[in-house]
């Protein structure tokens, strides 16, 4: 297990994680870390331990907005947000996505491209919303009409 | 020029008949006695008895050079030398030939082969002895004064050391007073003393000495010449107050209408509250345009910063009872000669505004650790204070290195702050606390204080909070907990970087700096020697260090400078000499001399500055026209040694290796291999060279032409060369030769460069063995006849 | 890299160097002259003006494998015998025996000097220099030129490398230095000296070489192609008397590469054979000495074989063992390394196949034959203050490396004596300005000038001389009418030099080289015309006068009138000092 | 095309003005191009004296016989010592021959 993990780490992006000094600047600047039990620092720490699976199963991956705040502040120059993206891919390849429904948006997106060759924001939004029970249905509907009115959904 | 016939005496010293056990000494003697101009050749088992007769033979001119074969203790060598030099033998007319270090006496090697090898070794030494010339060390006149650039703590200590040794010192400082950064510090741990007290102690010595000239408001404008004789020109900015007349009574300051405005800091009202206003106030200086020298009031003369004077104001002139104010003063230039230069240009704080996430310069209550020193004098009432460590240090985007002092500085500041504000709550955000040595005690002391919280994790940003406070969000990486704080004051532990003055001097003197801008030196072996001979570097311009380290460094620099301050500089006659009849002005020697010792002479030839030269011989190695030779180790001598090797002495098939060993490490590795009793194969001969870089390709070509099967050049590892880059140069050169061998359809491995460290005895033996195997597989050198 | 072409003469810097002794040409003779002058009088300012770089300039640039004249006194040889041999080699003369004798007397000392300076000379078991012919000794002379150059510099001669001489600096009939330009720095140099030695070497490239291919192998000549006869030309223009120019040096050389043959035939005993396998010299030339016949016979014989349908001709190297063949090539590497490469490029094993030989193009080289300046015993030419040494000094053939070195020393002795008795007149700035304008004229015309480039003119001249003045392609044969044709066209070419243009300093040098060659060629043709006989078949074959004319047993001399450019030809008598049969060694 | 230059190896002798081949060439033929690499400006004018080959400290120059005179490809490579020279001659059939001897100093 350990060996294959190391192999995975090195074949993919992630050797960079070893230079992290765990200063925590990424987490303290992260706008979404409060939503998750894992901070980006922790994800990187898992990688330093070689725990690729734990890292890939972190729900934080799917929260990351790729805002790059972490990457910009990192004193060691670790490209954290691209590591997060790589981990998403590994998780998907290995079937480690937790929970599975996190993938629904991405799957819909890909399928739509495959089918039509382009994205319709309207369909994508609807499909994503219908895939799981919306947490804020009323607000979503209000937002939907607002967006529609301004021509933001096509 | 009359040529004297080289007549040689060879004495084989075989104490305890150790040599006789492994080689046939009679055969050796018989062989040597047949050589022309070998006048005396005998085996001695004792030194004391035959010395008088050797001395007598020398005095009666039977021979004019001697070489000694065998192993000698240093004491024995000195005895021989002093005996013979009393008979008039020039100290450069000896050679020593240690057969044992070359592997004679190795167990298990056939005595016949050993005897043959011994004969070759002696003939090699004979060949070089024949070409010896009597030499005398050169004494060059030198100035026994030194120039110290920068009068901070390092500069002052260097200066006082030197004046203590009665050496004239010129101390040049660009500020109006001495003291440097240290003078602006509050208190020092552990003795809790005011740093000015220590500085004053040094200033007192300067005041009392007439061996020193202190030039403030001055910069070095040019520096030419060479070690022992530098011509310095400095520019003195006008002070507008006469140093001779002013007695620092202070009357002028009382009438001066102009207050120097402080540095621009944002005063955006949203960020101002009571605390930050207090902070701003305590950092404010009420310095007038005319004021005492800063940072320390030495020289005790006032200075006017004219750019702040109101037009046509002459209040100070009127007020001065000593008539010392001279508003019409202009800058002046001053020239003098010194023997050496010590650079103590110190450090500058890293510009914290570049670490933009912490809002330094935007929020008035975000201050640097240097400003905190000032604030500590009389701190405002503060409840919650944060310290962020590594603000800029250890950061890819800022300073790549650890500034080494900031952890201790912040701890000290917390300690003093808590003394004055016992109830204040201090948060220290850190990555790693680095408190080397006794500073650990400080760390533990601060840890034991109440309401001091260490958070392992640095905040990402600082944001404005309510009511002018600062909002900080951080992750305590140890617990994983997120922390939200609202602070009254945030102290950033800014790092140390090379001072602006260092960059200016580096450019002026063409002085190599490392990647970070600190002066380059050989950190283990000669930390205070810059890469320009006669120019030393002391204190924090060499790298981040604390005050006591700076002082140590400056004292070391003062010691190292002494050889240049002797009124004469003694040059050992081992320096390179250029044969102008061969030189083609290709300038490669100038290009590749690690110490820039060559300059063009009036005819466009390179000419060597003997005082800058460190006698490494890299120029001898690089010269494509074989025009450069070290005086007591000429290229002809080495060539003669190479020529004396008989490559078929074991058999025609058995490979013979010639190794050129750097005397700094590879040679010692080979020497101790024998001392440790490692089995050195008889196939290898080595020649000791001052630096691997001094091996010229022509010598290697000679070796191959004479039929030597493999040539090994061994020097230091990358980056370890005592002469900066000799190993690199020879590596490239031997690589070129290898490429050429390939074209000649000869195995390129017949020439190779290897790195050997001083302890690599085993590696050396292994290397030789495996090389022999390789060479056996290649077959004999095609030039072997 | 391309130089900036100056817009006007004023942009060209003029450098005036005042000196006691100027040596034009830092070759073998030049270096020895500098050495001798400095050792005789160390306070003398000695300056060498060198067209190339002194370390590797001139005929010995590639090295040398032998010194062809050394007197083994232990074998009973004497200077007189050497002179006798030399006389025989040029068919009995005329030869300046006085010069030859004084040369021979200093010869051994000079060769020994070379060994002392570091030239390895092969020795026999007794420690004597090893002979490979009667007078030849083997050297390992790859470094011959650098060794001599270093010595010249060591004694303190000031060397100006890359300065091309264009003319002498005259003060009436006295030479007070020389002028030239820097081919690298573009400066105009004026050397103002009390005495001047000209030792520029001979003239190569007046005739088309048999190996010439215009695209890639133009300079495959035996003689150094960078020796263009400047030393003669400046003397001709300075109204110095030239002697024996018609005694051209042509030697038998290896075919297609002009490699040395003496090394093979003299040192290794490989004899000349023809296509039928006959020993040519023994079969047909027994009466003039067979294999030991004078050099021009040894040249003419194989070429005659070709003409008469028995070519090609060879030196028979198949008699060599493989060790000897290796030794031979080692010798060749010392003199002409590229010849060994040539053999390799033909895949030629000389022990299996003989080496083909052919005549070379004619050269004017006074170190080998008698052509050059008429000099007195002090080696002063007919121009006061101008001395000649080496290939430029005439009347004394078969000097080769050793003799030219000696002559360098003798000329320096003469010059040192002369300098003591003279002072330096003020510099004639008018003459300097005029020469500066002349020297840079092709350059000032600029690269866009609609004219003639030096290479074109050189090729035209070489073809003309080859076909009409007895070149290799005509088997060295000539007659009066052809010579007249040559002369007429040389005059045309000389006139056309006003159309020469140079695009850079290098081609400016080429422009001067071709002008210098033309001046030498003109004098040469006059000499050839005057000798209405065939005295040295091969070297000088007149189809219209095939016999020797006893009335012409004298030196033929020429002087060019510096004002009209007309060439006056006259004779000087031959004086025999060493008695005996002149054609016997 | 007598002197053939290995442009990779040539470092123009790091010289300020003239590389060693440029300095030594008796015919003023070697010079540096815009990339500071040596070349022969007039290959037809080369005498094949091999001075440049011997002088080149990088071993970047080879002399080739013009094709008009000899076949492709034979090599003759000198290697200069302090007082020795070696020659390696490789003929068109790949036969290697070597020569070595002293070129300065007394012969014993």
More confident residue, B545 or A154: B545
Question: Does the pLDDT of residue B268 top 50, yes or no?
Answer: yes
| Contact predicate B761/B644, CB 8 Å | no
- CA nearest to B583 within chain C: C150
Q: Choose the catalytic residue: D47, D71, D99, D101.
A: D47
For B744, which of D14, D58, D88 is closest by C-beta distance?
D88
Given pLDDT bands bounded at 50, 70 and 90, which one contains residue C584?
A: confident
C215 to chain D, minimum CA–CA distance in Å? 6
Given pLDDT bands bounded at 50, 70 and 90, which one contains residue A1?
A: very low
- For chain D, how many structural domains are there in total? 2
Rounded Cα distance, C130 and C122, in Å: 6
Question: Does the pLDDT of residue B77 top 50, yes or no?
Answer: yes
D55: left (phi over 0), alpha (psi -120 to 50) or beta: alpha
| Contact predicate B334/B233, CB 8 Å | yes
Determine whether domain B238-330 maps to CATH 3.30.70.20.
yes
Residue-wise pLDDT tens digits, B129-164: 999 999 999 998 999 999 999 999 999 999 999 999
Q: Which CATH architecture has domain B139-237+331-346+499-571?
A: 3-Layer(bba) Sandwich (3.50)
Which residues in chain B have their CB less than 8 angstroms from residue C53's CB?
584
Contact state of D41 with C506 under an 8 Å Cβ cutoff: yes
Mean pLDDT, chain B, integer: 91
- Domains, chain C, with CATH or none: 11-248+363-420 (3.50.50.60), 252-359 (3.90.700.10), 432-563 (1.20.58.100)
Question: Does the pLDDT of residue A17 top 90, yes or no?
Answer: no
B8 to chain C, minimum CA–CA distance in Å? 22
Q: Which of B647, B680, B679 is nearest to B661 (CA)?
A: B680
Mean pLDDT, chain A, integer: 80
Q: What is the CATH number of the domain that holds D21?
A: 3.30.70.20
For D82, which of B639, B745, B746 is closest by C-beta distance?
B639
D87 is catalytic: no
Rounded Cα distance, B103 and B93, in Å: 25
Asked if the structure places residue D25 within a domain, the reply is: yes
Question: Which chains have 3 or more CB–CB distances shorter than 8 Å to chain A?
Answer: B
Domain B139-237+331-346+499-571 identical in fold to domain B350-495: yes
Q: What mean pLDDT is predicted for residues C225-245? A: 94
Within a 10 A sphere around the Cβ of B51, how many other Cβ atoms? Answer: 17
CA quadruple C339, C341, C344, C345: dihedral sign: negative
B139: CB partners within 8 A, 6+ apart: B568, B569, B570, B571
CB proximity C322 to D under 8 Å: no
Given pLDDT bands bounded at 50, 70 and 90, which one contains residue A48?
A: confident
Residue-wise pLDDT tens digits, B699-753: 999 999 999 999 999 998 887 888 888 899 999 999 999 999 999 999 999 999 9
C26 to chain D, minimum CA–CA distance in Å? 12
Rounded Cα distance, C248 and C251, in Å: 10
- CA nearest to C215 within chain D: D44
- Domains, chain A, with CATH or none: 2-98 (1.10.1060.10), 101-149 (no CATH)
Rounded Cα distance, C273 and C271, in Å: 6
Asked if the structure places residue D6 within a domain, the reply is: yes
Supply C213's token pair.
Answer: 């291919």
Which residues in chain C have their CB less than 8 angstroms from residue D90's CB?
344
| Contact predicate B67/B10, CB 8 Å | yes
CB proximity C254 to D under 8 Å: no
Residue-wise pLDDT tens digits, B504-547: 999 999 898 999 999 988 877 888 988 888 999 999 999 999 99
Rounded Cα distance, D67 and C113, in Å: 42
The answer on D77 and D55 residing in a single domain is no
Contact state of A74 with B396 under an 8 Å Cβ cutoff: yes
The answer on D76 and D27 residing in a single domain is no
Strand, coil or helix: what is C196? strand
Rounded Cα distance, C495 and C101, in Å: 42
Q: Is C312 exposed, middle or buried (0-12, 13-18, 19+ CB in 10 A)?
A: middle
Contact state of B586 with D88 under an 8 Å Cβ cutoff: no
Strand, coil or helix: what is B626? coil
C74: CB partners within 8 A, 6+ apart: C128
Instruction: Return the ∠ at Cα C313 (arms to C309 and C315), rounded to 5°.
Output: 160
Q: Per-residue DSSP letters for B79-134?
A: HHHHHHHHTT--TTSEEEE-TGGGTTT-TTS-HHHHHHHHHHHHHHHHHHHHT---
Q: Per-residue DSSP letters for C199-251?
A: ----B-SSS--TT-BTTTBTT--SS-TT-BSHHHHHHHHTT--EE-TT--B--
Within a 10 A sphere around the Cβ of C352, how many other Cβ atoms? Answer: 10
Rounded Cα distance, C401 and C411, in Å: 15
Asked if the structure places residue D66 within a domain, the reply is: no
Q: What mean pLDDT is predicted for residues C542-556? A: 93
Which residues in chain C have their CB less than 8 angstroms from residue D25's CB?
52-53, 56
Asked if the structure places residue D42 within a domain, the reply is: yes
Within a 10 A sphere around the Cβ of B196, how many other Cβ atoms? Answer: 17
Q: What mean pLDDT is predicted for residues B497-508? A: 94
The neighbouring-strand residues paired with B341 are B147, B535
Q: Which of C405, C395, C387, C336 is nearest to C368 (CA)?
A: C395
Question: Does the pLDDT of residue C188 top 90, yes or no?
Answer: yes
Question: Does the pLDDT of residue B29 top 60, yes or no?
Answer: yes
Q: What is the pLDDT of residue A9?
A: 52
C-alpha dist (Å) from residue D14 to A148, B581, C362, D52: 70, 21, 42, 16
CATH topology of domain B634-785: Rossmann fold (3.40.50)
Instruction: Return the ∠ at Cα C386 (arms to C382 and C389), rounded to 5°.
Output: 95
Question: Does the pLDDT of residue B569 top 60, yes or no?
Answer: yes
Cα within 13 Å of Cα(B513), Cβ side: 21
Question: Which chains have 3 or more CB–CB distances shorter than 8 Å to chain B?
Answer: A, C, D
C262 to chain D, minimum CA–CA distance in Å? 19
Q: Which of B371, B450, B440, B370 is nearest to B411 (CA)?
A: B440
Question: Distance between terminal CA atoms of chain A?
Answer: 47
Contact state of D70 with C218 under an 8 Å Cβ cutoff: no
- The residue written with tokens 């609807």 in the block is A126
Supply B228's token pair.
Answer: 């022992």
HEC states along C284-347? HCHHHCHHHCCHHHHHHHHHHHHHCCCCCEEECHHHCCHHHHHHHHHHHHHHCHHHHHHHHHCC
Residue-wise pLDDT tens digits, B591-638: 889 888 998 888 888 999 888 898 999 999 999 999 999 998 999 999
C239: left (phi over 0), alpha (psi -120 to 50) or beta: left
Express as a percent the part of chain C with pLDDT over 70: 99
Within a 10 A sphere around the Cβ of A145, how many other Cβ atoms? Answer: 10
Count of CB pairs separated by less than 8 Å, A with B: 69
| Contact predicate D26/C56, CB 8 Å | yes
| Contact predicate C501/C452, CB 8 Å | yes
Asked if the structure places residue D7 within a domain, the reply is: yes
The answer on D44 and D23 residing in a single domain is yes
Question: Which chains have 3 or more CB–CB distances shorter than 8 Å to chain D?
Answer: B, C
| Contact predicate B375/B479, CB 8 Å | no
The answer on D56 and D12 residing in a single domain is yes
Within a 10 A sphere around the Cβ of A123, how many other Cβ atoms? Answer: 14
More confident residue, B285 or C96: C96
Domain boundaries, chain B: 1-136, 139-237+331-346+499-571, 238-330, 350-495, 634-785
B495 to chain A, minimum CA–CA distance in Å? 14
Contact state of B584 with C151 under an 8 Å Cβ cutoff: no
B702 to chain D, minimum CA–CA distance in Å? 5
The answer on D40 and D86 residing in a single domain is no
pTM exceeds 0.95, yes or no: no
Q: What is the pLDDT of residue C97?
A: 93
Q: Is B220 exposed, middle or buried (0-12, 13-18, 19+ CB in 10 A)?
A: buried
For A24, which of B396, B397, B457 is closest by C-beta distance?
B457
Q: What mean pLDDT is predicted for residues C447-468? A: 92
Q: What is the pLDDT of residue B1?
A: 41
Question: Does the pLDDT of residue C240 top 90, yes or no?
Answer: yes
Q: What mean pLDDT is predicted for residues D80-95? A: 93
Which residues in chain B have their CB less than 8 angstroms from residue D88's CB?
744-746
Residue D38's domain comprises 1-61
Q: What is the DSSP letter of C357?
A: E
Q: Which of C324, C326, C329, C273 is nearest to C302 (CA)?
A: C273
- Sheet strands (E) in chain D: 3-5, 30-32, 38-40, 61-63, 75-80, 84-90, 96-102
Question: Does the pLDDT of residue C481 top 90, yes or no?
Answer: yes
Q: What is the pLDDT of residue A151?
A: 77
Mean pLDDT, chain D, integer: 89
Rounded Cα distance, B58 and B508, in Å: 54
The neighbouring-strand residues paired with B489 are B385
Q: What is the pLDDT of residue A91?
A: 87
Given pLDDT bands bounded at 50, 70 and 90, which one contains residue C45?
A: very high
Q: Which of B396, B350, B364, B349 is nearest to B462 (CA)?
A: B364
B728 to chain A, minimum CA–CA distance in Å? 30
Q: Which of C203, C52, C363 is nearest to D51 (CA)?
A: C52
User: Do C and D make contact, counting contact as 3+ CB pairs within 8 angstroms?
Assistant: yes
The neighbouring-strand residues paired with B494 are B391
Mean pLDDT, chain C, integer: 91
Which residues in chain C have their CB less than 8 angstroms from residue B584's CB?
53, 55
Strand order of the β-sheet with B710-715 is B684-689, B657-662, B710-715, B751-755
Question: Does the pLDDT of residue D3 top 80, yes or no?
Answer: yes
Most B-contacting residue of C50, C116, C153 (CB-CB within 10 A), to test interface: C153
Question: Does the pLDDT of residue C189 top 70, yes or no?
Answer: yes
Asked if the structure places residue D21 within a domain, the reply is: yes
Given pLDDT bands bounded at 50, 70 and 90, which one contains residue B51?
A: confident
For B580, which of C53, C55, C153 is closest by C-beta distance?
C153
The answer on D45 and D15 residing in a single domain is yes
Question: Does the pLDDT of residue C544 top 80, yes or no?
Answer: yes
Rounded Cα distance, B206 and B170, in Å: 11
B698: CB partners within 8 A, 6+ apart: B626, B635, B639, D80, D81, D82
The answer on D43 and D14 residing in a single domain is yes
B681: CB partners within 8 A, 6+ apart: B103, B109, B768, B769, B772
The answer on D80 and D45 residing in a single domain is no
Contact state of D63 with C338 under an 8 Å Cβ cutoff: yes
Q: Which of B474, B298, B471 is nearest to B384 (CA)?
A: B471
Q: What mean pLDDT is predicted for residues C354-364? A: 93
CB proximity D38 to B under 8 Å: no
The answer on D78 and D57 residing in a single domain is no
More confident residue, A8 or B357: B357
- CA nearest to A25 within chain B: B460
Cis? peptide before B295, omega within 30° of 0: yes
Rounded Cα distance, B751 and B704, in Å: 9
Question: How remote is the C-alpha of C198 from its chain's centroid?
Answer: 12
Rounded Cα distance, B681 and B764, in Å: 11
| CATH class name, domain B350-495 | alpha beta
A68: CB partners within 8 A, 6+ apart: A81
Most D-contacting residue of C219, C324, C350 (CB-CB within 10 A), to test interface: C219
| CATH class name, domain B1-136 | alpha beta
Question: Largest Cα–Cα distance in chain B?
Answer: 103
Rounded Cα distance, C373 and C382, in Å: 8
- CA nearest to C157 within chain B: B581
């Amino acid at each position: 297990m350990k060996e294959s993990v190391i192999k995975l780490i090195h074949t993919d992006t992630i050797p960079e994680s070893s230079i992290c000094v765990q200063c925590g600047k990424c987490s303290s600047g992260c706008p979404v870390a409060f939503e998750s039990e894992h901070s980006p620092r922790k994800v990187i720490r898992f990688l330093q331990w070689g725990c690729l699976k734990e890292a890939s199963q972190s729900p934080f991956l799917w929260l990351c907005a790729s805002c790059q705040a972490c990457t910009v502040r990192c004193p060691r120059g670790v490209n954290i947000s691209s590591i997060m993206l790589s981990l998403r891919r590994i998780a998907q390849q290995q079937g480690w996505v937790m929970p599975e429904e996190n993938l629904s948006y991405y799957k819909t997106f890909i399928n739509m491209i495959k089918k039509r060759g382009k994205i319709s924001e309207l369909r994508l939004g609807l499909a994503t919303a219908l895939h799981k029970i919306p947490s804020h249905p009323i607000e979503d509907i209000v937002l939907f009409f607002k967006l529609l009115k301004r021509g933001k959904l096509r | 020029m009359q040529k004297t016939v080289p007549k040689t005496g060879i004495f084989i010293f075989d104490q305890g008949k150790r040599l006789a056990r492994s080689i046939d000494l009679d055969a050796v003697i018989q062989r040597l006695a047949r050589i022309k101009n070998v006048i005396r050749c005998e085996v001695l088992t004792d030194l004391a008895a035959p010395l008088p007769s050797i001395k007598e033979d020398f005095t009666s001119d039977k021979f004019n050079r001697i070489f000694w074969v065998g192993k000698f203790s240093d004491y024995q060598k000195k005895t021989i030398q002093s005996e013979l030099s009393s008979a008039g033998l020039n100290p450069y007319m000896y050679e020593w030939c240690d057969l044992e270090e070359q592997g004679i006496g190795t167990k298990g090697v056939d005595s016949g082969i050993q005897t043959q090898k011994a004969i070759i070794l002696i003939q090699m030494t004979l060949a070089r002895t024949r070409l010896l010339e009597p030499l005398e060390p050169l004494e060059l006149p030198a100035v026994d004064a030194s120039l110290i650039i920068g009068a901070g703590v390092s500069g002052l200590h260097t200066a006082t050391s030197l004046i203590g040794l009665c050496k004239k010192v010129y101390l040049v400082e660009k500020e109006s007073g001495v003291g440097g950064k240290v003078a602006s510090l509050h208190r020092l741990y552990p003795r809790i003393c005011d740093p000015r007290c220590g500085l004053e102690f040094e200033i007192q010595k300067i005041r009392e000495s007439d061996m020193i000239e202190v030039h403030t408001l001055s910069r070095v404008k040019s520096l030419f010449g060479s070690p022992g004789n530098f011509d310095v020109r400095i520019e003195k900015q006008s002070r507008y107050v006469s140093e001779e007349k002013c007695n620092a009574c202070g009357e002028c300051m009382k009438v001066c209408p102009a207050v120097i405005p402080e540095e621009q800091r944002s005063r955006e009202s949203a960020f101002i509250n009571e605390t930050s206003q207090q902070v701003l106030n305590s950092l404010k200086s009420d310095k007038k345009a005319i004021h005492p020298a800063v940072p320390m009031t030495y020289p005790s003369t006032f200075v006017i910063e004219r750019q702040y004077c109101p037009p046509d104001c002459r209040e100070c002139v009127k007020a001065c009872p000593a008539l010392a104010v001279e508003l019409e003063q202009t800058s002046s230039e001053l020239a003098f000669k010194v023997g050496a230069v010590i650079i103590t240009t110190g450090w500058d704080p890293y510009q914290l505004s570049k670490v933009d996430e912490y809002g330094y310069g935007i929020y008035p209550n975000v201050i640097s650790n240097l400003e905190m020193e000032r604030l500590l004098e009389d701190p405002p009432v503060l409840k919650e204070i944060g310290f962020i460590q590594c603000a800029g240090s250890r950061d890819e985007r800022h300073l790549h290195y650890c500034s080494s002092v900031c952890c201790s500085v912040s701890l000290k500041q917390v300690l003093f702050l808590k003394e004055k504000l016992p109830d204040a709550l201090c948060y220290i955000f850190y990555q790693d606390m680095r408190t080397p040595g006794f500073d650990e005690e400080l760390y533990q002391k601060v840890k034991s204080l109440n309401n001091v919280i260490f958070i392992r994790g640095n905040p990402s940003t600082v944001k404005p909070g309510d009511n002018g406070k600062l909002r900080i969000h951080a992750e305590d990486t140890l617990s994983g907990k997120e922390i939200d704080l609202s602070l009254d004051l945030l102290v950033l532990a800014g790092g140390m970087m090379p001072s602006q003055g260092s960059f200016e001097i580096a450019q002026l003197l063409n002085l190599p700096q490392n990647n970070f801008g600190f002066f380059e030196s050989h950190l283990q072996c000669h930390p205070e020697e810059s890469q320009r001979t006669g120019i030393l570097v002391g204190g924090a311009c060499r790298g981040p260090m604390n005050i006591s380290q700076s002082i140590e460094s400056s004292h070391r620099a003062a010691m190292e400078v002494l050889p240049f301050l002797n009124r004469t500089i003694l040059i050992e006659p081992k320096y390179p000499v250029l044969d102008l009849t061969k030189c083609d002005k290709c300038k490669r020697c100038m290009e590749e001399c690690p110490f820039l010792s060559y300059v063009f002479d009036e005819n466009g030839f390179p000419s060597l500055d003997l005082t800058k030269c460190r006698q490494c011989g890299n120029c001898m190695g690089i010269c494509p026209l074989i025009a450069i030779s070290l005086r007591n180790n000429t290229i002809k001598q080495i060539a003669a040694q190479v020529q004396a090797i008989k490559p078929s002495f074991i058999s025609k098939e058995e490979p013979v290796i010639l190794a050129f060993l750097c005397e700094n490490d590879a040679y010692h590795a080979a020497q101790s291999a024998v001392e440790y009793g490692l089995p050195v194969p008889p196939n290898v001969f080595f020649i000791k060279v001052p630096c691997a870089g001094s091996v010229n390709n022509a010598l290697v070509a000679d070796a191959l032409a004479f039929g030597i099967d493999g040539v090994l050049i061994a020097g230091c590892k990358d980056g370890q060369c005592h002469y900066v880059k000799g190993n690199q140069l020879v590596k490239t050169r031997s690589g070129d030769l290898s490429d050429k061998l390939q074209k000649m359809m000869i195995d390129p491995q017949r020439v190779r460069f290897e790195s050997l460290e001083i302890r690599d005895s085993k590696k050396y033996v292994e290397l030789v063995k495996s090389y022999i195997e390789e060479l056996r597989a290649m077959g004999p050198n095609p030039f072997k006849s | 890299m391309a130089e900036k072409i100056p817009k006007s003469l004023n942009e060209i810097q003029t450098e005036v160097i005042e000196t006691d002794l100027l040596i034009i040409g830092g070759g073998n003779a030049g270096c020895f002259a500098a050495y001798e002058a400095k050792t005789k009088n160390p306070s003398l300012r000695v300056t060498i003006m060198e067209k190339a770089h002194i370390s590797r300039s001139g005929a010995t640039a590639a090295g040398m494998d032998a010194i062809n004249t050394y007197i083994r006194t232990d074998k009973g040889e004497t200077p007189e015998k050497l002179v006798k041999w030399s006389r025989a080699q040029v068919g009995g003369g005329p030869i300046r025996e006085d010069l030859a004798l004084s040369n021979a007397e200093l010869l051994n000392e000079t060769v020994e000097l070379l060994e002392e300076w570091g030239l390895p000379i092969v020795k026999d078991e007794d420690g004597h220099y090893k002979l490979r012919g009667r007078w030849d000794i083997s050297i390992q002379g790859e470094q011959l030129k650098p060794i001599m150059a270093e010595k010249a510099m060591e004694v303190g001669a000031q060397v100006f490398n890359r300065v091309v001489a264009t003319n002498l600096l005259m003060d009436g009939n006295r030479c007070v230095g020389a002028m030239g330009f820097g081919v690298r720095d573009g400066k105009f140099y004026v050397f103002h000296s009390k005495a001047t030695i000209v030792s520029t070497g001979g003239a190569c490239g007046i005739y088309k070489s048999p190996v010439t291919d215009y695209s890639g192998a133009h300079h495959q000549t035996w003689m150094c192609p960078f020796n263009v006869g400047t030393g003669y030309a400046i003397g001709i223009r300075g109204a110095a008397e030239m002697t024996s120019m018609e005694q051209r040096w042509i030697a038998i050389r290896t075919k297609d590469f002009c490699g040395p043959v003496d090394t093979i035939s003299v040192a290794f005993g490989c004899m000349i054979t023809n296509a039928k396998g006959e020993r040519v010299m023994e079969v047909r030339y027994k009466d003039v000495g067979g294999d030991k016949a004078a050099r021009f016979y040894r040249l003419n014989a194989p070429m005659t074989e070709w003409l008469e349908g028995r070519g090609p001709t060879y030196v028979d190297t198949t008699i060599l063992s493989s060790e000897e063949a290796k030794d031979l090539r080692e010798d060749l590497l010392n003199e002409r390394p590229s010849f060994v490469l040539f053999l390799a490029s033909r895949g030629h094993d000389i022990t299996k196949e003989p080496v083909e030989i052919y005549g070379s193009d004619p050269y004017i080289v006074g170190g080998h034959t008698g052509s050059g300046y008429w000099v007195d015993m002090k080696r002063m030419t007919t121009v006061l203050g101008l001395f000649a040494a080496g290939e430029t000094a005439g009347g004394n053939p078969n000097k080769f490396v050793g003799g030219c070195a000696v002559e360098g020393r003798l000329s320096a002795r003469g010059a040192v004596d002369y300098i003591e008795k003279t002072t330096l007149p003020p510099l004639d700035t008018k003459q300097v300005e005029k020469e500066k304008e002349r020297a840079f004229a092709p350059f000032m015309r600029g690269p866009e000038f609609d004219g003639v480039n030096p290479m074109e003119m050189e090729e035209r001249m070489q073809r003309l001389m080859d076909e009409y003045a007895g070149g290799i392609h005509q088997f060295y044969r000539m007659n009066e009418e052809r010579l007249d044709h040559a002369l007429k066209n040389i005059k045309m070419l000389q006139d056309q030099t006003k159309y020469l243009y140079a695009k850079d300093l290098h081609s400016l040098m080429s422009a001067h080289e071709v002008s210098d060659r033309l001046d030498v060629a003109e004098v040469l043709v006059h000499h050839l015309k005057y000798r209405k006989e065939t005295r040295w078949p091969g070297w000088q074959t007149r189809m219209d006068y095939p016999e020797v004319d006893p009335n012409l047993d004298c030196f033929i001399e020429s002087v060019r009138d510096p004002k009209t450019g007309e060439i006056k030809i006259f004779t000087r008598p031959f004086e025999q000092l060493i008695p005996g049969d002149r054609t016997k060694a | 095309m007598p002197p053939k230059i290995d442009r990779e190896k040539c470092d123009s002798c790091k010289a300020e003005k003239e590389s060693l081949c440029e300095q030594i060439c008796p015919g003023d033929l070697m010079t540096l191009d815009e990339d500071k690499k040596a070349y022969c400006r007039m290959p037809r004018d080369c005498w094949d004296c091999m001075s440049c080959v011997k002088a080149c400290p990088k071993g970047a120059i080879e002399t080739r016989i013009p094709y008009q005179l000899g076949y492709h490809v034979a090599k003759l490579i000198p290697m200069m010592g302090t007082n020795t020279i070696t020659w390696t001659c490789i003929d068109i059939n790949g036969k290697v021959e070597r020569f070595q001897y002293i070129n300065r100093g007394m012969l014993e």
